[in-house]
Chains A and B, each alone.
Chain A
Amino acid sequence: MSEPAPSAAVAPAREVTRYVAIAGNPNCGKSTIFNSLTGLRQKVGNYPGVTVEKKTGRFFGSHGEAMELLDLPGSYSLQIRSPDEAVARDVLLGRQSDTPRPDAVICVVDASNLERNLYLVAQMLELHIPVVVALNMIDVAEKNGVVIDLMALREKLGVPVIPMVATRGMGFVELRQAISRSPLPAPTTCAQMPIVLETEVMALARQLPVANEVARAEALLLLTLHEKALDEVVHHDGAIVGATKAAQQRLRASGIDPISAPVDARYEWIGRVCAAACHTGESHSAVSISDKIDGWLTHRIWGWVAFLGMMTLMFFCIFTIAQYPMDWLDGACTGFADWVGRHLPESDLRSLLTDGVIAGVGRVVVFLPQILILYFFLGILEDTGYMARAAFIMDRMMSRVGLHGKSFIPMLSSFACAIPGIMATRTIENRKDRLVTILVAPLMSCSARLPVYALMIAVLIPVASGLAKAGIMLCMYLVGIFAAFGMAWFFKTKIFKGETPMLLLEMPPYRMPSLRTIAIRMWERAGLFLRRAGTVILALSILLWALATYPKPADPKATPAEALAHSFAGRMGHALEPAIAPLGFDWKIGIGLIGSFAAREVFVSTMSIVYNVETKDKEDTESLRESMRAERRSDGRPVFTPLVCVGLMVFYVLAMQCISTIAVVRRETNSWRWPLFQTAYMTALAWIGAFVVYQGGRLLGLQ
């Protein structure tokens, strides 16, 4: 149950002496403090059964004693509304199965936004757990003209309060000292509840089968649950829930609203704390500078200009600058495969290494530049506070399909590649919104679809002008956008029904980003992607290699095309023919579809093998184009009629056809259920799309 510490005999100094949680509101600088304390000694995992990340790190107290630091998800309150907040609450109450109840909590507080930040502190003090308040950003508070009397604040809160400027490394020595103190006393004071409420709380606490010190906090949290949440309580049996409802009834009858009374009591207490400890003087700017920037960045016209400019820049960097390292990585992988190919005799092993393993590894690492660049931008947007403005600007549009502003950036990023896009959905707190965004993000046309579009346009119109090409391309992008928003609307209104989550968006003042924090996050994301998604991508790549290689034709002199037709993939292409015949696709296209299940762009190389065309490089598709145009059905009609070409493009707009995305969705949703559902629905959508194009076109008398 507890953290596996190294044996004391081997490394006595490294034994974990204290298990500390760090909590705080979003935007309070908690990550900066966590990163400064733990450096790169961090581990990222998942809480069992939920998609919430569990981040822990090792740090050392003022005498070198090792302590474990658990980064709790940023939350405004212990009253839950998201899985993140549920985890924070469960850990602090000691009922998260795989995590021990912390020995102490560092509660990070934004000094420039003290009142609201103290709300979480007020709740922490009710938990009977030692609390150290890290009063961060005192410099900003001072600039705003707020002078905080530390002695008074300590006295009123009854816990140590450490003034800090985490971005400049100030206050860490004192924080380490405070958290190393032994013993750390539990808080002695907290907000007083109205007497009627307190009586009910204590009565309910006595019925709870939990340890004494958390019973009151648990009872209070239960009593303040609204009815819907109360029906979803899983930690207690029906009798407790019934007792809670009865107590709420009695409270309402005596004129106490169980929803608002505790909140009011805490804010009243906070009011008294602030009255004693904060002295507001002359404000020197910070807020007003932030206001001035907002005057431009959320302006009716300039706001859009700035927003589009920033999105274009980000998109441009992901799309184009990433291309250089991607080409380089791609070249390195191909070069390595060639080298292996030259040094090994012709064998299955050579084929496995070059076409399976190395190609699979290449498929993984080639995404790294995009992921790193995206996380760099996301980090800047988040740290500066612009992310909240982007959501503010886009919310109206996104709300039309039932999503909110925060879903916009992941969807935009998916134009470059769905992998970083899906990884960017982490900024969406609401679980359903996040899931819907993940489900529709791969419908946005990513860069891997471009080679397929390019090939099919070339087959469709061999002498297409640039304008015609761009026009067709644009249509494909529009089909993808339309499908993504349509499906988002469908999922939000038909499948994930229930209340539309409200938008409550804090607009933090603009701040300078911390490059260190951003760099650590980029490093962490890249590592996670390689470990979690990379392994799945590699395994599936090898599986697909095997499908396209075995069984081998009896005749050793068989051409690659014959070998492919003989393989499982080829047989599957044949088997697939009845299913895809209504779309106008033949079995050779079927092989292409199966081969490109690993990645869309593989369609081009698979078709080259099917049509026995030697393509020297990816850009040169001329001979392939001619072979495809010349292809005839048994009755002499051409295979690649305009309807088939367009249908195939539409199929690729809508179909999943990307194991990397599947692997990332598996990782981000922590189950195979959603990636499988997503693959199924997208394939169905693709089939319907191609069917409508082909059969609809034929009804209209087109070819």
Chain B
Amino acid sequence: MSAEADVFLDTLKIGEKARVLGFNLPEEHRQRLLEMGLTVGAECAVIRFAPMGDPIDIKVRGYQLSLRKREAAGVRISRL
């Protein structure tokens, strides 16, 4: 819909904030992320990466959630 290429959660750097736009994930994974509060429109921020670079620790709805880059790469976002 927009001219820009989609941005995904795994490309954020530490401290960057974003808003969730949508998902390119299998239904069961999408549902789990939604129920953990990562709904479309929710804000999130990258807090840190694990020592080996994966998983990613993010903040969403006031708590910290870790997910692997593989799944983060399926979360479409816009940087805030």
Q: Give the B-binding residues of A (Cβ under 8 A).
A: 76-77, 79, 81, 113-116, 119, 224, 226-229, 259-260, 263-264, 267, 291, 294, 298-301, 303-304, 388, 392-393, 395-397, 399, 499, 502-508
Contact = CB atoms under 8 A, between A and B. Distances in A.
A263 B34 contact: yes
B48 to A, nearest CB: 6
Given A396-B53, A503-B71, 15 more contacts: A224-B31, A226-B28, A260-B30, A260-B31, A264-B34, A267-B42, A294-B48, A304-B51, A395-B50, A399-B68, A502-B67, A503-B67, A506-B63, A507-B64, A507-B66
Contacts of B57: 298, 392, 507
A259 B30 contact: yes
Contacts of B65: 504-507
B55 A503 contact: yes
B39 interface: yes
Contacts of B67: 502-505
A218 B11 CA distance: 39
A260 B36 contact: no
Nearest to B68: A503
Interface string B46-80: 01101111110100011111111011000000000
B31 to A, nearest CB: 5
B32 A499 contact: no
A499 B50 contact: no
B63 A300 contact: no
A116 B36 contact: yes
6 contacts: A77-B35, A229-B28, A263-B34, A395-B66, A396-B55, A506-B36
Given A115-B37, A395-B55, A396-B53, A259 B31 contact: yes
Interface in B7-49: 26-37, 39-40, 42, 47-48
Contacts of B55: 392, 395-396, 503, 505
B31 A79 contact: yes
A499 B25 CA distance: 12
Interface of B: 26-37, 39-40, 42, 47-48, 50-55, 57, 61-68, 70-71
A116 B65 CA distance: 11
Contacts of A291: 47
A70 to B, nearest CB: 23
What is the interface of chain A mostly: helix, strand, loop, or mixed? helix
A79 B54 contact: no
Given A81-B32, A116-B36, A228 B51 contact: no
B68 A116 contact: no
Contacts of A227: 27
B51 A300 contact: yes
Contact of A263 (B27, B35, B70): B35
A499 B26 contact: yes
B33 A504 contact: yes
A396 to B, nearest CB: 4
A336 to B, nearest CB: 50
B66 A503 contact: yes
Contact of B52 (A113, A229, A396): A396
A115 B40 CA distance: 15
A409 to B, nearest CB: 16
Contacts of A119: 35, 37
Contacts of A294: 48
B51 A298 contact: yes
Contacts of B28: 81, 226, 228-229, 499
Nearest to B27: A226
B74 to A, nearest CB: 10
The residue in B26, B32, B34 that gathers the most chain A C-beta atoms within 10 A of its C-beta is B34
A576 to B, nearest CB: 46
A502 B71 contact: yes
A81 B71 CA distance: 17
Chain A to chain B: the 9 pairs with minimum beta-carbon distance, closest first = A226-B27, A396-B52, A507-B64, A505-B66, A115-B61, A263-B34, A77-B35, A113-B63, A116-B37
Contact of A395 (B26, B42, B68): B68
A267 B64 contact: no
The residue in A77, A388, A395, A396 that gathers the most chain B C-beta atoms within 10 A of its C-beta is A396
Nearest to B74: A502
Contacts of A81: 28, 32
Nearest to B71: A502
Contacts of A299: 51
B29 to A, nearest CB: 5
Contacts of B71: 502-503
A116 B61 contact: yes
Contacts of B32: 81, 502, 504
A565 B36 CA distance: 64
Given A113-B62, A116-B61, A503-B68, A267 B39 contact: yes
A300 B47 CA distance: 14
B50 A263 contact: no
Contacts of A502: 29, 32, 67-68, 70-71
Given A115-B61, A505-B65, A506-B63, A263 B53 contact: no
B62 to A, nearest CB: 6
Contact of B50 (A116, A226, A298, A508): A298
